[in-house]
Amino acid sequence: FDSPEANKANLDYLQGLLKQRNVTHLILVTKLNADAEVKFSRSHESTGRFEGLGFYLDNGVEITEDATGQFGRGIIMPFAYVKLRLIDASTMKVVKEVYQKQSCTIGNMKGENGLYAWNAITSDEKVRNMESLLNAAMEKGVPQLLAN
């Protein structure tokens, strides 16, 4: 859909499949490449770009938990940067596009050496965070996509 002429055969095939199933519209979710929105304290901000689903790690950040005063080092930031497109199935044209940037910051309060930030949460927690961010992107993005 970014370069329809280069993908005409694929689009024609998809259009045929959708027509056989009487589909009128398609919601397509793809990765979004955009400026990162990373600010996790008043004094520390990072720049760069995020794309799709992933994790931003910064082992150099010193953090303090406000409530307890506990000290830690490193942050992990799961992110979901996605582009939602509403496609007219009869023409294969993009009707509307919505961008969603979802992320959360988790500080490493374990005081471990090595991969500080990566070890701040378990593998199951990483998956749950990613699912939650992707669900939030859909919950916010789809209504925007379908609004007139």
pLDDT in tens, 68-109: 877 888 889 999 999 999 999 999 999 999 999 999 988 888
Q: Token pair for residue 75? A: 């942050």
- How many CB atoms neighbour CB 133 within 10 A? 21
- How many CB atoms neighbour CB 90 within 10 A? 12
The model's pTM is: 0.84
Pairwise CA distance, residues 106 & 78, whole Å: 8
Please give the helix or strand (H or E) that residue 33 lies within, else none. Answer: strand 33-35
Pairwise CA distance, residues 130 & 103, whole Å: 9
40 φ, ψ to 5°? -120, 10
How many domains does the chain divide into? 1
The least confident of 1-10, 32-41, 80-89 is 32-41
Pairwise CA distance, residues 37 & 50, whole Å: 9
Q: Token pair for residue 29? A: 């979710």
Residue 139 pLDDT: 97
What is the residue range of 115's domain? 4-146
Residue 41 pLDDT > 80, yes or no? Answer: no
